[in-house]
Amino acid sequence: MARLLEVKGVTKTFGRLVAINNLSFYVEEGEALGLMGPNGSGKTTLFNTLIGDYLQDSGEIFFREKEISKYSTHERVKMGIARTYQIPRPFYEMTVAENIHVSTVPDKAIASLRRRGHTELEEKLAEDVGLKDHISHYPYELTMGDLRRLELAKALALNPKITLLDEIFAGLTVAEIGEISDLIGKKRDEGLDFIVVSHDLQALAPLVSRVVVINFGKLIDEGSYEEVVNNEEVKQVYFGY
Amino acid sequence: MIKQRTLSRPMIGWLIFLGVMLVVGAVIPARWGRLCIMANYSAIFAISWDILCGATGYVSFGHPFIIGVAGYTTAILAKQIGMPLYATMPIGIAAGMGAGMLFFLPGLRLRGNYFCIVTLAAMIIIHQLVVAVRSDLTGGSRGLTAVPALFIGMTPNYYLSFILLFCIALGMWYVLRSDAGMTFNAIRMDEDTVSGLGLSTFRFKLIAFTLSALVGAVGGVFFTHYIASIAPGSIFGMTFMLSMILATLVGGLNTIIGPIIGAYFITFLLGILRPYIMGPPRFVAYALICFGLYIAKSRGIYGIVQDAVNWYRQKKG
């Protein structure tokens, strides 16, 4: 199967702190990859590097066999990489519909000067992620679960080839975790490829076909969920026994 | 089904504004008419500031730079070289926008306070240059007087300034309601997230800046030919810069209508206070009233009106 995204020997440092250390892994077309690691292991830094918020010190990142390091964040997003944030980042003065609408704004000067009302796409996306009843609400009126849904809707509006889901279950109730997990599972079945970071392994396990585990920015294991959770090193760094 | 926002109610508001101001121009006494003209130009400058700073959050202290370059260019070409106004005015607008682009565009890659500093520096530099370089052309520190005027008399100048203001305000109001306007606001709220949604933030900041510079330069050119003079102390001074910021803040930031309300409020406040409080105390009273208003309601007079309308609607059920 063709490789959708490939990271080759990427290193990212902040001063003397090595956040990502010569890391290599890949995601194939049609694959859902889990990314595990203890707090501070470099998962979010890796996402920031993949999306272009950070430029790696060395190594290469390929998307559909094209080296993308020289491309800025918005160019990478247009290529087909989207992300959600660990701490949801909605536009707080905009309604849910308007938040989704920003994802659909054309990145062209003249086209963007035309006024558009809310489109059916926004309605459909809001309905898809379960925000239909909140479409006119502001982010500060939403629960954490709904904010996660909004993050997802904004990412899906970009029609991405791959989505980076950062701690998508963090701060959610058990019921919300189940709902968001079902939603992601449904999107995966519809053809969405993603890399998902989560500390909630029960939620992560059924979603992913393969897992990559990192610690101190280094790859320590990769394989099926069952394989990696039985790896002694993973047990030690992640479960503490 | 999402309810489509209709244009009808705001458009009715704009038409009422147009009608009232056209009637006012025919009946207003000359003294108050001149205040209206000053308020109209102040509103144009405040809108110019609002479209960049209010919408995208990139605060500029250098708008007088754009306005001044546009004003000086048309004044020099018309008075010193003797070119006709129909030629000098477009050149002045182009010069103001071009100079703004040259100095401020690199600054748009900077964030927060750094952009403010770049714009402030540009204004201080041009102030010194106008005084020191080719004072035979610029008039040095005294500036240029007897610049050819477009119209003589209150009434034509009132209508000219108002029609300019109306067209600019309506155009910019439309822009703020477009996808681009929505993106300007998104940039103000979280620029990195906007990039993460596949939009070039530099492109949208460039659109906002271009529109802002265009409005400022148009205002600068027409204002120079209205007052028929231009001097570095007044155009590049802190008072002029702060008055356009104050009009925006007092009226209501990021609303386009707010700067019009704010410009009229502060212009008429100074005019009304004039017979009662002389000299500097008048400006102290003016500052206290404006800042008191801003502290009481940070969304400005526009916010007060909005709250009153909402309260009335709720009461009415």
Condensed to tens digits (0 to 9), the pLDDT of residues B26-63 reads: 999 988 999 999 999 999 999 999 999 989 998 889 89
pLDDT at B1 over 70: no
pLDDT band at B217 (very low <50, low <70, confident <90, very high): very high
Does the beta-carbon distance from B4 to A117 stay under 8 Å? yes
Closest Cβ–Cβ partner in B183, B192, B193 for A105: B183
Task: Enumerate residues 6+ apart whose C-beta is below 8 A from B304.
Answer: B297
Mean pLDDT is lowest, of A56-60, A178-182, B96-100, B171-175, for A178-182
Q: Where are the alpha helices (DSSP H) in A25-157?
A: 43-51, 73-79, 96-103, 109-112, 120-128, 144-156
Instruction: Please report which confidence band the pLDDT of residue A116 belongs to, taking 50, 70 and 90 as the band edges.
Output: low
In the block, which residue shows the tokens 């990212």?
A12
**A239 secondary structure, DSSP code:** I
Query: What are the beta bridge partners of residue A215?
Result: A218
pLDDT at A170 over 90: no
pLDDT number for residue A118: 66
Query: Chain B closest CA to A233's CA: distance in Å?
Result: 35
Chain B residues touching residue A98 (CB < 8 angstroms): 182
Give the percent of chain A with pLDDT over 90: 62
Give the one of B1, B5, B198 whose C-beta lies nearest to A77's C-beta: B198
- Token look-up 């910021």 returns B245
Contacts 24+ apart (CB under 8 A), B135-143: B137/B76, B137/B80, B138/B72, B138/B76, B138/B232, B139/B231, B141/B231, B141/B232, B141/B233, B142/B231, B143/B229, B143/B230, B143/B231, B143/B232, B143/B233, B143/B234
B4 pLDDT band, cuts 50/70/90, is low
Is the Cα torsion angle B43, B45, B48, B49 positive or negative in sign? Answer: negative
Higher pLDDT, B164 or A203: B164
Is A95's pLDDT higher than 90? Answer: yes
Q: What would the pLDDT profile of B101-155 be if each residue is shown by its tens digit?
A: 888 888 887 777 888 888 888 888 888 888 888 888 888 889 899 999 999 999 9
Distance in Å, alpha carbon of B162 to nearest chain A alpha carbon: 25
Confidence of residue A33 (pLDDT cuts 50, 70, 90): very high
Domains of chain A: 3-239 (3.40.50.300)
Tell me how close the Cα of B219 comes to any Cα of chain A, in angstroms.
Answer: 22
ipTM of the complex: 0.91
Per the structure block, which two tokens stand in for B248? 């925006």
Predicted confidence at residue B273, as pLDDT, reads: 84
**pLDDT tens, position by position, A148-161:** 999 999 999 999 99
Q: Indicate the DSSP class of residue A238.
A: I
Report which of residues A165 and B283 the model is more confident about.
A165
Compute the average pLDDT of residues A71-90: 95
Given an 8 Å threshold on Cβ–Cβ distance, is B197 in contact with A102? Answer: yes
**The pairing of beta strand A193-197 with beta strand A162-165:** parallel
pLDDT band at A214 (very low <50, low <70, confident <90, very high): very high
Domain boundaries, chain B: 37-237
pLDDT over threshold 70, residue A77: yes
- CB < 8 Å from B in window 100-129 of A: 101-103, 105-107, 109, 111-118, 122-123
Q: What is the pLDDT of residue B6?
A: 56
pLDDT of residue B8: 67
Higher pLDDT, B117 or A73: A73
What predicted TM-score, i.e. pTM, was given to this entire model? 0.90
Please, what sign has the CA dihedral across residues A64, A69, A70, A71?
A: positive
Question: Shortest CA distance to B92 belongs to which of B108, B118, B68, B116?
Answer: B68
Band of the pLDDT at B71, cuts 50, 70, 90?
very high
pLDDT in tens, B239-278: 888 889 999 999 998 899 999 999 999 999 888 888 888 8
Question: What pLDDT shows up at residue A117?
Answer: 65
Q: What DSSP element (H or E) covers A174? A: helix A174-189
